[in-house]
Structure 1
Amino acid sequence: MARDTRERLLTTARDLVHASTYADVGVDDVCRAARVNKGSLYHFFPSKQALGLAVLDRNWELMRALLDQTLGAQGPPLDRLDAFLAGYASMMRTMREHLGGVPGCPLGNLAAELSAHEPVMRARITEVLAAWTDRIADVVREAQVRGDVEPTLDATSAARAVVACIQGYSVLAKAEDDPGALDPLRPLVRTLLLLPR
């Protein structure tokens, strides 16, 4: 029962933040939507920041699962990266159906909103984005070993560029309320990595 309550609070907070912003979602909003009293919320999350960190960690958990599923699969590295990007676009389509609009990247949204004035959140966001970048950099290095990507290309810089492209296209998809705005991302990333240096 307690685990169900915590999960309901976390899922509700995540959905509300995606549909709006972290700043606009209050503890009362989460309690009302989850049909839970404040005492229960504060039992699991001693502050709004603690709840926000839990939302961030859940977003990363879901992104990490997609990374594991796609980048950890068998096959050529660039095909696996392509599968990740396709999975990401599919996730945006699912979120649009669930929330009634394209929310953009859950991690990028929190980074854009909170990094300037929430040092604890900024530190965690930085860790998450670094871990995401590292996962993509590993794939770039594998592709370099296979001869699919220029060997002199700095894998970490290339991975940061990929994450930046994902974030940029996510903003476009959110602004246009169209997950199809992410469609050019896959060929663009492949071209970016294959350009001669």
Structure 2
Amino acid sequence: MTNTTNDVRQHILTTAQSIIGGKGFSAVGLNEILHASSVPKGSFYHYFGSKEAFGEALLENYFTDYLAALDAVLARSDVSAGERLMAYFEHWLETQATCDPKGKCLAVKLAAEVSDLSEAMRSVLDYGTARIIARLTRAIEAGVADGSLASQPDASAMATTLYQLWLGASLRAKITRDRVPLESALTATRGLLGLPAAVGT
């Protein structure tokens, strides 16, 4: 693809992510995406063969950005591995506790909806979340190695448990419309990792 082609394609994905992050995949029609991104329908189908193909690309783009941001947090050298891991979950709390769809986790928003609608989109979600868990596993292993986290018999199982805990807390926060479930998840995370309770809790 040329740079111009890449730019237009990325513009569509970026514009649509904010809309779909707020409304969901099925509730957003193609015309709304086209209008918001100022792209004609013919051009849209030049980049994406169908709405489902667009959904796949949207999720792939989301995970690419998400994993890059996660890598940046976990690569910090000024704090321990345990502190880096907790910084990730603290950031999760702050972004998911707001009403701004731009900061919302698309995996949380779309998992239940599209997994039953599209096998292709479900596969992207499965692969993307597995890569997140793999990074969390390595972070836990690094924390055990540098002494900032308690010893873990199975870092992969712990990473999976934590990720699933936070997915559930994020869904619960949608129901309660407050940050209490996420704050509870943060407290539980510290306990599972053998960290002292945060000051003031």
State if a TM-score over 0.5 links the two structures: yes
Which moves more between the two structures, 175-184 or 134-143? 175-184
Q: CA RMSD in A?
A: 2.3
In the alignment, which residue of structure 2 is the partner of 1:150?
A: 151
Question: 1:2–1:20: structure 2 CA closer, same or farther, 3 Å change rule?
Answer: same
Equivalent pair of 1:78/1:190 in contact (CA under 8 Å): no
Percent identity, please. Answer: 28
- Once the two structures are TM-superposed, the CA of residue 98 in structure 1 deviates from its matched residue by 5.6
Q: Distance in 2 between matches of 1:14 and 1:135?
A: 24
- CA distance in 1 between counterparts of 2:54 and 2:178 reads 29
Are the counterparts in 2 of residues 66 and 84 from structure 1 also a CA contact under 8 Å? no
State the alpha-carbon separation in 1 of the partners of residues 69 and 185 from structure 2. Answer: 17
Following TM superposition, by how much is the alpha carbon of 1:43 offset from its aligned partner in structure 2, in angstroms? 1.0
Could you list the per-position Cα deviations for residues 117-172 of structure 1 after superposition, in whole angstroms to 9, with x for gaps in the alignment? 31111111111111000000111112222343224x21111001110111011112
Which amino acid in the other structure matches residue 86 of structure 1?
A: E
**Structure 1 stretch displaced more, 128-137 or 115-124:** 115-124
- Cα distance change of structure 1 residues 98 and 132 upon mapping to structure 2, 3 Å threshold: closer
Task: Select the residue among 22, 39, 52 that pairs with 1:19.
Answer: 22
User: What are the equivalent positions in structure 2 for 1:54-93 lying under 5 Å apart?
Assistant: 54-74=57-77, 75-92=79-96
Aligned residue for 1:58, secondary structure, equals: helix
| 1:159-192 alpha-carbon deviations (Å, 9 max, x no partner) | 0111011101111222233356423333321211
SS of structure 1 residue aligned to 2:193 = helix
Q: How many residues align?
A: 190
Are 2:85 and 2:136, in contact at CA under 8 Å, matched by a contact in 1? yes
Structure-2-length-normalised TM-score = 0.83
Amino acid at match of 1:90: E
SS at match of 1:184: helix
Matches of 1:3 and 1:120, distance apart in 2: 22
1:131 equivalent in structure 2 = 131
Deviation at 1:73, TM superposition (A): 1.0
Q: Once the 2 structures are TM-superposed, how far is the Cα of residue 17 of structure 1 from its aligned partner?
A: 1.2
Q: What per-residue deviation string (whole Å, max 9, x for no partner) do you get for residues 101-131 of structure 1?
A: x85x311222211222311111111111110
Partners of 1:181 and 1:79 in 2: CA distance = 21
Confirm or deny: 8 A CA contact 1:71 1:77 kept in the other structure.
Answer: yes
